[in-house]
A and B are shown apart, each in its own frame.
Chain A
Amino acid sequence: MTWLLFAEQTLNGLQQGVMLFLMAAGLTLVFGIMSLLNLAHGSLYMVGAYVTATVTQASGSFGLGVLAGMAAAALAGGLIELIALRRLYARDHLDQVLATFGLILFFNELVKILWGPQALFLSTPEILSGTVDLAGTPYPAYRLFIIAVGLLVALGLRVLIVNTRVGMLIRAGSTHREMVGALGVDIARLYTIIFAVGAMLAGLAGALAGPMLAIQVGMGENILILTFVVIIVGGIGSVRGALVGALLVGTVDTFGRAFLPMALRAVMDPSAADTVGASIAGMSIYILMAAVLMIRPRGLFQAYGGT
């Protein structure tokens, strides 16, 4: 293993983490502040990817496609909040799991009816399709772009939550819901906005994933599981925790896959090392989660005030 390979894998980990963060930021806000367990978050990611692919193909502009994907996901998120999820805030988490799982099935079938069962295609935008030379190692330009976008979004969210009026209401609403309502703030509307913002970020993640991944029915379920690991590691309800958790999960997962089999080869025979390494690498993020929960049962960062 060379220093360069290590640096490259660190970038890969960072990139994976940033993608997870886009998903986790919305999920953690909804879960932490509204106490709603939303399994359909992955469906919004799928909607973002599908709409981006369709609009990009029709208009020829990836930028336009991404904006359309984000708007569509925000719209879909706002609609399911208004129509279905609003009725579930007061209910048990188990009811919410049941209802939002139903939404997953609904969205999967809807997407299949609208777009058909075959995976969709989205090309990498021309300007980002090449590789960038990093000290002799060619690195995909598109992945660097994702890292940049993700970090910008993280910065933007911080400004939104710490420095704006909506952010103040979000923070207040999470800890003193009744008081905020008593002061004349329309909590229901605030929740719809939070949900739509979370949905929009999921749509952005889906849109950005499009050029790298298969855009297909059920694509959201894979990333959803990782996203839940992220918000549990980071601390439910904390956007800062989502960022740290996402980067941690992305890095641990990437390093596990990249270096564990290699490291094990030093102590056991190659074929056994490959098998054991692959299996442990698949578990690495869950081991991380267990370790974090042992030391900090409520995640690395507690939500504002901690409800």
Chain B
Amino acid sequence: MTKTLFAAAALAAAIALPAQAAEPVRIGMITTLSGGGASLGIDTRDGFMLAVKMKGGRLGGAETAIDIVDDARKVGNAKQIATRMLQQDDVDVITGIVWSNLALAVVPAVTGADKFYLSTNAAPSHLAGKGCHPNYFAVSYQNDNLDEAAGYHVNAKGYDNVYLIAPNYPAGRDHLNGFKRYYKGGLAGEVYTKLGQVDYAAEIANLRAAKPDAVFIFLPGGMGINFTKQYAQAGLVERIPLFGPAFSFSQDILGAVGDAALGVFNTAQWSPDLDIPANKAFVTAFQAEYGRLPSLYASQGYDTALLLDSAIAKVGGDLSDKAAFRSALKAAEFETVRGKFSFGSNHHPVQDVYMRKVVKVNGTITNEVVEKVFSIHQDAYAADCGM
């Protein structure tokens, strides 16, 4: 599979310009294509490859070789693949990792080898602050951005007795801290559940007894599906509004939650209905290519490929001048599906964040923008970054 894609991209490039002798730009994508959470990696890949296809298989007009490898969501696999890509394949850029724990293991190895890493999703606080690096760019967001927007919105709407739920692991605490950074009201409860928990009956009963006026959850992947379905079964969606970052309510998950998700509020830097020409073109092309609506992860993969395209074009396909390529990336002169996008000093996005609501349009459950929460918002860690 990876070999085929590799060959296909190389072939497409070869047909287009057979005479060029220059070294191709080599891109390694490590992402999760099997096991739990595979839908996130698949959307990342599909969004990325859609942009590559739209550029005729040549990013920045240069011959492009893309090697896509499955990490099965395992840290060991990701590290091993990265090592091979860096030492044997001599890739110029690595991208695609979905999970923060995998990114924390791989990114330092990539930047340490003086190669570039572009994050299509995971952006843990360490890499935005003290652990920032000139060769590391987060194209998606900084992990806390979406929680901060939710906290700000809930605060602005006058809720003052909010119930918080997250899994009991470091990222769970990070996300709740992000929320609390902008939320100033009281807490009806702050509950940490087991990572990967499937049944939330006990938590929901306690929650109802605590009588909060809003609930904020950070429960990514299957945990969010489980919680939301059970929250709706307990008849609570209409009575106590449910908020969260987009991870539990992205397009890849909504189909599995069904009507139970209707009316849930979630924050993201992108939405399929954002009224921006570049976004409209992206959503239409994605649907035509894959027959489904794109998710947040697909939009991030797509933007990452477009950013690469712009930077490679700027340096004329020659990535040997690292400084020139770096400043070409930093300039971020590409047509993002989010409208506005620039990199802050720590190479993390400075962008708008929206509040979205889950709705049903023509029988399809999807997200719709309710309002813009933050205009050109920057993360809280930029000051800790020494760049």
Contacts and interface: CB of A to CB of B under 8 A. Distances in A.
A212 B199 contact: yes
A124 B235 contact: no
Nearest to A223: B198
B252 interface: yes
A275 B256 contact: no
Contacts of B198: 209, 213-214, 219, 222-223
B35 A108 contact: yes
A157 interface: no
A114 to B, nearest CB: 14
B375 interface: no
A35 B229 CA distance: 38
Contacts of A130: 235
Contact of A213 (B36, B229, B253): B229
Contact of A118 (B39, B193, B202, B203): B39
Contacts of B199: 16, 19, 212-213
Chain B interface helix/strand/loop/mixed: helix
B205 A9 contact: yes
Interface in A102-153: 108-109, 112, 117-121, 123-124, 129-131, 137-140, 142-143
A227 interface: no
A274 B38 contact: no
A118 B256 contact: yes
B82 interface: no
Contacts of B234: 131, 138-140
Contacts of A282: 168, 194
Given A117-B42, A119-B222, A219-B222, A274 B192 contact: yes
A271 interface: yes
A261 B191 contact: yes
A278 B191 contact: yes
B51 to A, nearest CB: 21
A192 interface: no
Contacts of B226: 212-214
B197 to A, nearest CB: 8
Contact of A217 (B36, B193, B201): B36
B275 interface: no
A186 B221 CA distance: 47
Nearest to A124: B233
B258 interface: yes
Nearest to B223: A214
A218 B202 contact: no
B335 interface: no
Contact of A9 (B35, B202, B259): B202
Contacts of A129: 233
A121 B259 CA distance: 10
Contacts of B36: 216-218
B206 interface: yes
A14 to B, nearest CB: 10
Interface string B33-59: 111101100100000000000000000
Contacts of A8: 205
B262 to A, nearest CB: 12
Contacts of A109: 34
B255 interface: yes
B132 interface: no
Interface string A171-185: 000000000000000
B100 interface: no
B233 A119 contact: no
A238 interface: no
A142 B232 CA distance: 12
B168 A279 contact: yes
A119 B168 contact: no
Interface of B: 33-36, 38-39, 42, 168, 190-194, 196, 198-199, 201-203, 205-206, 208-209, 221-222, 225-226, 229-230, 233-235, 252-253, 255-259
11 contacts: A9-B202, A15-B201, A112-B38, A117-B33, A118-B256, A119-B39, A120-B256, A140-B234, A140-B235, A219-B198, A274-B190
User: Which 7 A-B residue pairs are closest in the complex by CB-CB distance?
Assistant: A119-B256, A214-B225, A117-B38, A12-B201, A214-B222, A278-B192, A258-B202
